[in-house]
């Protein structure tokens, strides 16, 4: 009702003054009435005692005339005495100071009373006192003393108190207005300063006057210190917010913050360049063009509060790596941060790395191809020479030409295998393939290089291995890379072993060489891009890095461990599939 402090102070003071005035008036009225009533009572008893003594003899002689004369004389000689009457021992009025036969009827009800009575009559307020005459033997004397002057004196006193209270209230209101102004002015200044505290820009600081040494001045000084600290923290928060926003705007990733109501709360510059100004819009509006919301990742994150990773190919041909992360604020509200990173160039670079590694491996294979091609090529030359000796012998010439054709077919098969490996087509969709098919293909390619060093390739496969769901070309490349590395690490006439087993619900393939193994501390370093233990002419440092990435893309892992014979052993583990559909000629 009263919003302002000043109004409350004034109203409270006025109510206090009114309450004090009413209490003072009541106390003064009560005290004066009691005090003056006691005085009237003492005066009335004194007159009654004198009159009682005078009435003793006339009453004893039944001298009614003398009794009446004494009663009327007492009333006439004392203005405060309104009446006087005598009752006999039975309580009946026997004589009085009123005119004959005009005794007031309202006095009859107290005629037999012996206690003081207050009467409200047309003659005003009367104090009736009863005094026994001769111990009540001759009757009782009643005298009525007027209390009008007591009421008048009390009324005057009350009036004076009220006037004094009113004057004090007026003066008090004026004083309290001034006091309220002194109190509320700094308080209002504090309020206004507090209201403008959050609106101040830059380094502006809200300051309130600090004059004086009282509590309000101390409060003002405390407020100024607090305002300076708040402004400093606000500036720090604004600077940090601007810094974070600049950092987010410089990121190549698209950052979108979505509320629990599926509303976009923030986008960085990359996201804004891609989607436009979408702050406040529904995330469904900006995502449904490319990713229908049937399986909404935001809803899944809000429900499970787990991080979600997905890859997405946009209609534009660009590839994106998507990540949704739940963020819980201090207020407990949950928001979702979506990060979209364009990985098109990275995928292209990975493809180039794989291509380079393929060519490097193909170069290593080519050394063995020379030896493998020379044998059938020598046979072709010999067959042609033999055919030329007897050109007329059609049967002999036909037989020699058939041998020459078989030799050229063998050469074509070798070169076609090498060319297909070096060409490195795009990664195919995973298909179901037998493990022995993968290993046989890898061994065939690796044997060309192993023969040059007279290295024995030993294959040990379990007979009951199930099919695996893989990209056959990529998996063969991994195995060829591991086997050629094993060939390079092994001495002449050494041994390379490849073992395949089912282990812990997955396929485990180990490629072990008979070389010296890796030095301590190189077990993980060999998987880093461009790191190689070979010289610059024989290694690119990409083979194991690309191989691990291919294996991880299949949900597996590629690790190193020391071999049983002291050489290096690389272990590839990939998950099995029990419901894959076989596909013939999966290796193309």
Residue 204 counted as domain residue: no
Closest CA to 161 of 21, 61, 45: 21
Q: For 16-46, write each residue's pLDDT tens digit.
A: 878 887 887 788 777 877 787 787 788 888 8
Residue 188 counted as domain residue: no
18 and 114 together in one domain: yes
DSSP state of 293: G
- Structural domain boundaries, residue 324: 251-342
Residue 307 counted as domain residue: yes
Closest CA to 138 of 48, 60, 49: 60
pLDDT, residue 37, reads 74
390 and 421 together in one domain: yes
24 and 52 together in one domain: yes
Question: How many C-alpha atoms does 465 have within 13 Å on its Cβ side?
Answer: 27
Q: Which helix (H) or strand (E) holds 248?
A: helix 215-250
Q: Which helix (H) or strand (E) holds 74?
A: helix 64-77
| Per-residue 3-state assignment (H helix, E strand, C coil) for 127-151 | EEEEEEECCCCCEEEEEEEECHHHH
pLDDT, residue 583, reads 39
Q: Beta-carbon neighbour count of residue 91 at 10 Å?
A: 13
Instruction: Tell the burial category of 482 from Cβ atoms under 10 Å away from its Cβ (0-12, 13-18, 19+).
Output: buried
Q: Are 150 and 36 in contact (CB under 8 A)?
A: yes
Domain boundary among 309, 342, 375: 342
Distance (Å) of CA 218 to CA 212, 228, 358, 429 = 8, 16, 81, 77
263 and 310 together in one domain: yes
Residue ranges, the chain, pLDDT below 70? 1-6, 100-101, 197-205, 286-294, 353-376, 378-379, 382, 410, 413-414, 416-428, 448, 529-542, 577-588
Q: What is the CATH number of the domain that holds 67?
A: 3.30.450.20
3-state secondary structure of 568: strand
129 and 25 together in one domain: yes
Domain boundary among 156, 185, 217: 156
Q: Are 337 and 322 in contact (CB under 8 A)?
A: no
DSSP state of 319: E
409 and 484 together in one domain: yes
368 and 314 together in one domain: no
Give the count of domains, the chain: 3
Please give the full DSSP string across 457-518, using - where no structure is assigned: EEEEE-TT---EEE-HHHHHHHHHHHHHHHHHHSPTT-EEEEEEEEETTEEEEEEE-SS--P
Which is it for strands 334-342 and 93-96: parallel, antiparallel or unpaired?
unpaired
Residue 569 counted as domain residue: yes
503 and 549 together in one domain: yes
Partners of 87 in the β-ladder: 93, 140
Q: For 535-574, write each residue's pLDDT tens digit.
A: 544 555 667 777 888 888 888 999 988 888 788 899 999 9
pLDDT, residue 584, reads 38
Q: What is the CATH number of the domain that holds 501?
A: 3.30.565.10
Residue 198 counted as domain residue: no
461 and 529 together in one domain: yes
Q: Are 354 and 421 in contact (CB under 8 A)?
A: no
| Per-residue 3-state assignment (H helix, E strand, C coil) for 55-66 | HHHHHHCCCHHH
Residue 167 counted as domain residue: no
Rounded-to-5 percentages of helix, strand, coil across the chain:
55, 20, 30
Q: Which two tokens stand for residue 204?
A: 């502006």
Residue 546 counted as domain residue: yes
H-type alpha helices, 424-469: 435-452
Closest CA to 572 of 530, 544, 541: 544
- What global pTM score does this model have? 0.41
Residue 288 counted as domain residue: yes
307 and 402 together in one domain: no
Please give the full DSSP string across 156-207, using - where no structure is assigned: HHHHHHHHHHHHHHHHHHHHHHHHHHHHHHHHHHHHHHHHHHTT--TT----
Domain boundary among 156, 177, 206: 156
318 and 375 together in one domain: no
d(CA 276, CA 243): 22
69 and 114 together in one domain: yes
């Amino acid at each position: 009702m009263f919003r302002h402090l000043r109004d409350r102070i004034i109203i409270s003071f006025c109510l206090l003054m009114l309450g004090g005035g009413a209490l003072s008036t009541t106390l003064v009225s009560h005290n004066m009435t009691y005090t003056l009533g006691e005085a009237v009572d003492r005066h009335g008893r004194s007159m009654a005692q004198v009159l009682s003594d005078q009435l003793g003899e006339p009453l004893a002689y039944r001298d009614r005339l003398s009794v009446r004369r004494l009663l009327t004389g007492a009333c006439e000689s004392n203005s405060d005495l309104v009446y006087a009457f005598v009752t006999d021992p039975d309580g009946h009025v026997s004589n009085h100071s009123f005119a004959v036969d005009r005794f007031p009827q309202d006095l009859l009800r107290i005629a037999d009373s012996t206690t003081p009575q207050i009467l409200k009559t047309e003659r005003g307020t009367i104090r009736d006192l009863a005094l026994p005459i001769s111990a009540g033997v001759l009757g009782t004397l009643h005298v009525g003393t007027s209390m009008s002057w007591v009421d008048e004196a009390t009324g005057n006193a009350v009036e004076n108190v009220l006037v004094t209270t009113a004057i004090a209230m007026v003066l008090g209101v004026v004083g309290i207005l001034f006091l309220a102004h002194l109190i509320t002015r700094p308080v209002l200044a504090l309020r206004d300063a507090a209201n403008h505290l959050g609106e101040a820009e830059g380094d502006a600081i809200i300051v309130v006057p600090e004059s004086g040494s009282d509590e309000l001045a101390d409060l003002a000084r405390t407020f100024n210190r607090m305002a300076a600290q708040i402004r400093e923290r606000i500036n720090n928060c604004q600077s940090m917010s601007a810094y974070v926003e600049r950092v987010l705007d410089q990121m190549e990733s698209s950052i979108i913050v979505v509320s629990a109501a599926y509303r976009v709360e923030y986008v960085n510059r990359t996201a804004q360049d891609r989607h436009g100004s979408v702050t406040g819009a529904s995330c469904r509006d900006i995502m449904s063009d490319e990713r229908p919301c049937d399986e909404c990742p935001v809803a899944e994150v809000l429900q499970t509060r787990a991080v979600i990773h997905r890859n997405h190919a946009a209609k534009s041909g660009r590839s994106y790596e998507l990540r949704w992360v739940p963020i819980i604020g201090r207020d407990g509200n949950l928001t979702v941060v979506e990060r979209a990173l364009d990985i098109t160039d990275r995928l292209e670079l990975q493809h180039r790395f794989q291509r380079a590694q393929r060519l490097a491996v193909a170069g290593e294979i080519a050394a063995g191809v020379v030896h493998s091609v020379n044998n059938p090529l020598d046979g072709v030359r010999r067959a042609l020479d033999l055919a030329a000796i007897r050109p007329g012998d059609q049967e002999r010439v036909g037989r020699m030409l058939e041998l020459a054709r078989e030799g050229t077919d063998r050469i074509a098969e070798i070169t076609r295998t090498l060319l297909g490996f070096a060409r490195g087509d795009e990664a195919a969709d995973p298909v179901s393939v037998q493990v022995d098919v993968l290993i046989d293909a890898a061994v065939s390619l690796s044997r060309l290089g192993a023969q040059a060093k007279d290295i024995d390739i030993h294959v040990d496969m379990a007979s009951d291995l199930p099919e695996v769901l893989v990209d056959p070309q990529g998996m063969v490349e991994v195995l060829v890379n591991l086997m050629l590395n094993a060939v390079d690490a092994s001495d002449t006439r050494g041994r390379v072993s490849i073992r395949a087993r089912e282990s812990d619900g997955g396929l485990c393939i180990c490629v072990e060489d008979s070389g010296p193994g890796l030095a301590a501390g190189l077990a993980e370093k060999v998987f880093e891009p461009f790191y190689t233990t070979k010289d610059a002419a024989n290694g690119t440092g990409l083979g194991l890095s690309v191989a691990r990435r291919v294996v991880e893309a299949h949900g597996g892992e590629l690790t190193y461990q020391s071999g049983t014979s002291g050489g290096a052993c690389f272990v590839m583990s990939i998950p099995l599939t029990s419901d894959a559909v076989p596909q013939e000629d999966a290796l193309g």
